[in-house]
Amino acid sequence: MDGHHFDDDATGTSGGVGAHLWLPEAGRLWDLGPATSDTDADGVGDSLSRTDAEGLTVFTDTDRDGRVDLITRVGADGEISSSTYDPTSGTWSAAKPGRLR
Ligand SMILES: [Ca+2]
Ligand SMILES: [Ca+2]
């Protein structure tokens, strides 16, 4: 045990394939677990979904940095809403539900 470590590539940095998704919120990062679906079919998992009594919530990392930046919520009544993350301000902002373009 001489204390040498080989950890230059072992920890910390983003971009890992198949890594956990992290949810930035209020200055913290929440570990959501590994991505379970690949919404843009590039072979890299980018989303996971959770269901609860109020509906379905999908967490998506759109730019593959490992941090969730899009939350889509589908209510039990079928209403869809979404929030996007602004990394420069560190805040989430809700998109208008039902907006057509
Ligand atoms: Ca993907
Ligand atoms: Ca991201």
Kindly give the confidence (pLDDT) of every residue in the chain, 101 residues in length, as a single tens digit, with 9 standing for 90 and above: 565 555 444 444 444 445 799 999 988 999 999 999 999 999 989 999 999 998 999 999 999 899 999 999 999 899 999 999 998 899 999 986 655 55
Domain region containing 80 = 20-93
Identify whether 9 is part of a domain.
Answer: no
Rounded to an integer, what distance in angstroms lies between the CA atom of residue 78 and that of residue 63? 27
Identify whether 89 is part of a domain.
Answer: yes
Give the environment of ion ligand 2: residues with CB less than 5 A: 61, 63, 65, 67, 69
Rounded to an integer, what distance in angstroms lies between the CA atom of residue 55 and that of residue 96? 18
Identify whether 15 is part of a domain.
Answer: no
In this prediction, residue 87 carries a pLDDT of: 86
Rounded to an integer, what distance in angstroms lies between the CA atom of residue 18 and that of residue 66? 9
The number of the ligand nearest the C-alpha atom of 36 reads 1
Identify whether 40 is part of a domain.
Answer: yes
CA 86 to ligand 2 center in whole angstroms? 10
Identify whether 62 is part of a domain.
Answer: yes
Number of domains present in the structure of the chain: 1
The number of the ligand nearest the C-alpha atom of 71 reads 2
The number of the ligand nearest the C-alpha atom of 29 reads 2
- pTM reported for the whole predicted model: 0.74
In this prediction, residue 85 carries a pLDDT of: 94
